[in-house]
Structure formats: C-alpha cells, structure tokens
Amino acid sequence: MTRLLYAAAASLAAAAPLAAQPGTSTSRPAIRPLGAVTATTKDSLGMVSNVRALPGGKLLVNDMTGRRVLLMDSDFKILKVVADTTPGNPNAYGGTVASLIAFRGDSTLFVDAQTLSMLVIDPNGEVQRVMSVPRAQDAMMLAAGGVGAGAFYSNGHLVYRGMPNIRMQVVNGTPQMGAMPDTMPITRVNLQSRVVDTVGYVKIPISLPTITRTDDGKMNVNIEVNPLPVVDEWAVLPNGDVAFVRGRDYHVDWVETNGTRRSSPKMAFDWKRLTDEDKAKFVDSVKTLLDKQAAANPGQGAAMATAFGSMMGGAAGGGAPRVQMMVRAEGGPAGGGGPVRAPQVTAPKINVVSPSQLPDYQPPFFATSTRADADGNLWVLTIPTKPQPAGSVYDVINGKGEVTERVLIPEGRTILGFGPGGVVYLAKRDGTATTIERATVK
C-alpha cells in the first residue's frame, strides 16, 4: 500500500507550487545516488522481510514466504539453514509472521509469533537457547519487522510499537469494530523483570472497516483509508536512543537510554500546499491505482477475505479470535461467550476518503518509512513534492536532527537493512521472489 501511495504522490509531484510552512526553511541538500552494488544473491529467495548484518560481511536472512532463516557469507553463499519447516528440526520456523532482531553483541533474536518463542542465534548461525516472548499479546508486534518498524533491543529491553486494542462487538449477528485510536505507544519491556513501560507515542494512520451482513449470511467489508495521512515515525539507534520523527512539522524528539528527553529544531523540507484541485486529483489517482492493482492481482481480494474472516472469528476450526471481542446477543445486553467462528467474508472493498479530509500540506513521509543505520543516522523515505530522478529519495538525519544528505535508491529497490562501514542491503522484488543486493552508502 505504501508503494502504491508513493507512486500516486510521485505522479502529482509537479502539480502544485512549493510553499514553506511558517518558521521553516526550504534549503535542502542536493540528491545524490547511492554507491555501487558490490554483491548480488544468486540463490532463489522468497519474500525477504528483514536481514541482520554480522561480522565479516556475513548475513542472516529472514525468508518469510520460504519460512526459513539463512546464514550467508560475504559473497551471499548460503552457509547454513538456521531455521525452517523441516519435520523434526528443533529450530522450527512456525508461522509466516517472524522477524530478526539485533540482540546483545553480535547475537540475534529470531521472534516467531506463532510459537511465541525467540531463538537466540550466535554469529555462526548456531541457536544457543530459546526464550519465550515477554508477553504473549505482543508477539505479533515483536515479529512485525517485515510489515512495520518491528522491535529493537536496547540495554536489556525490547522496544516495539504497542498492539491496537480494538474492541469488536457482534450486534444482531453482525460484527462491529469500535473506534481505532490515532496514536499508539512505543513500548519497552525489560527482559529480566518483564516490567513494561511506555517510551513515547506516535501518530498512526487509521483505516477501520465497516461490516454489513447480506441476506444469505455473508459479511461485506468496506475499508475507508486516508491515502495521505499525517503520521509519526520512530526508530532505535545503535546506541539505544529512541528517535521519534514527527510528521506535522518534521522534527525529531529523542529519548536517550538514561531517560533524558530532547527535541531537535524543525528540519528543512520542500513543503507543498495542496489546493482543493490537488486533493481531488490525488484521490482520483489513488482510486485508479487501486483498481489497476486489483485487476492485476485477482487473488488479492480472496486473500484479504480469508484474513478478515480469521481475524473476526479465529481459524475455521474455531481458533481464538485475533482481536478482543465482546459478543452482544440480538436485542440483549453485552455478554460473554466463546470465540466466534470465522464467518464467510466477501472480498473487502477499499474506499478512499473524500478530498476534503486530506491535509492542507503534503506530509513529508508515509508510515513504515524510517530506519536507523549502523552509524547512528536515521533514513527517512520522503514523499516527492517536486520532480526527482526515478527511484526513492531518503533524507539522512544525524544525531542532532539535521538532514545531512539526500540519497537516491535505485528504482525497483527497497532498503532491507544496514551493515557497519557504510553498507546498505537492498531488496529487488519480482512478485514473491527477492534478490538481495549489497551496496555502499557512497
């Protein structure tokens, strides 16, 4: 979805003049290309969600659709299958939601949401021990490295975004979701004491479905999305500091490991004011791209329907629901009751909000657009506001909250992760297949 919205913004980049917000500067570094690619994988890989750089150029790879964790050498030769689905393998890759987290020293955590476990992997790809996740209800967010910021290790703690507590009711036989909050906590849990606290809050995009029941008992799901939300981003730096990148005025709030809080000044950005005509064009562009995406992926609707059915009622065999539910009998008071069986859901329809609900200034970034490199910099994938070379442009922000350079990532690539010494790992995707490339920052 982010790639689709990025494409829509790029197509309208020249549609409106730039206009600085009050008190901000538009002086920006020139865009420069990423350095040369120095190595490329040859083996067949599925959808790689994240990687972990190790000493000597070795790499742990989380092949999510292949359901395996691989250890590769500096030439991308596979040295070892660390975890997979082979029967009898004690290092099992359980579900399809799992993530690698840089742990103490050069060790790595492999978090598997389905088994509620965390494998501790040493730099040689050997599993040293298995830990349980600190809190079962947070397993999905700990393992969300491929679909969001995921989790990070910092001085004895795991830091991650909290899980939305969306309450669902079944009223007159039809599931109804409650209001979704527009902010979420960034949570920190101590791995020894299991004490949980909140580091800060981030503004998130909201897309809540409306569910209706047809005469034959099926569920129709309509999802309304704002294609240009003003959101916040966050990341944990190698020294353990947590950075909050604010989307409304583009500045960074910092929480240091000792608890000290500080804020950096607003950063320069090419702000673009959106007229009513610009907003209408953007909404129309997103609708067109959604229609094209649905036509090109006919199985997508069925997959979404299955996911919603599972979320609303658990697995077909009656598994536990994946959101907190409260069942209300028809015409009666709220009550208890066990898990609701997965209903039959038609292909969800994605609707776009009216143009009037878009912000007056185009925000600087979308959700899940920020990473920290191995040298203590933040990389923020910015939304284009004026014509730029083909590819994706990242703002590189130092520890003072200053944009020091703007780096162009080649078209068709996304950043998987970073290594020491200015190494960047890129993913080149073709459907569900991934090629990993290692490049230099300069």
The reported pLDDT for the residue numbered 12 is 64
* C-alpha span between 187 and 175 (Å, rounded): 29
What is the per-residue pLDDT across 193-208, written as a single tens digit (0 to 9) for each? 999 999 999 999 887 7
pLDDT confidence band for 337 (50 / 70 / 90): very low
What is the per-residue pLDDT across 112-156, written as a single tens digit (0 to 9) for each? 988 899 999 999 999 999 999 998 888 888 888 645 567 899 989
User: Which of 122, 154, 104 has the alpha carbon at shortest distance from 58?
Assistant: 122
Q: Are 186 and 234 in contact (CB under 8 A)?
A: yes
The reported pLDDT for the residue numbered 404 is 97
pLDDT value at 428 more than 90: yes
What letters, b where the CB count within 10 A reaches 16 and e where it falls short, cover 365-390? bbbbbbbbbbeebbbbbbbbbeebee
In the chain, how many H helices and how many E strands? Answer: 4, 32
- Name every residue whose Cβ is closer than 8 Å to that of residue 99 and which is 6 or more positions away in sequence: 49, 50, 62, 110, 111, 142, 143, 144, 145, 146, 150, 151
Tell me the pLDDT of the chain averaged across its residues.
Answer: 83
Q: Are 155 and 257 in contact (CB under 8 A)?
A: yes
SS3 category, 261: strand
What is the per-residue pLDDT across 258-291, written as a single tens digit (0 to 9) for each? 999 999 999 999 999 999 999 999 899 888 888 8
pLDDT value at 16 more than 70: no
Tell me the residue ranges of DSSP E strands in 73-145. 78-83, 98-102, 108-112, 117-121, 127-132
Pairing of strands 37-40, 433-440: antiparallel
What is the per-residue pLDDT across 354-396, written as a single tens digit (0 to 9) for each? 999 999 999 999 988 999 999 999 999 999 988 889 999 999 9
pLDDT value at 5 more than 90: no
Arithmetic mean of pLDDT, 300-313? 54
The dihedral built from the CA positions of residue 243, 244, 249 and 250, taken in this order, carries a sign that is: positive
The reported pLDDT for the residue numbered 107 is 97
The structure's pTM equals 0.86
pLDDT confidence band for 333 (50 / 70 / 90): very low
- Name every residue whose Cβ is closer than 8 Å to that of residue 363 and which is 6 or more positions away in sequence: 228, 229, 230, 231, 247, 248, 383
Q: How many CB atoms lie within 10 A of CB 196?
A: 16
Most confident listed range (88-102, 275-289, 304-318): 275-289
The reported pLDDT for the residue numbered 316 is 34
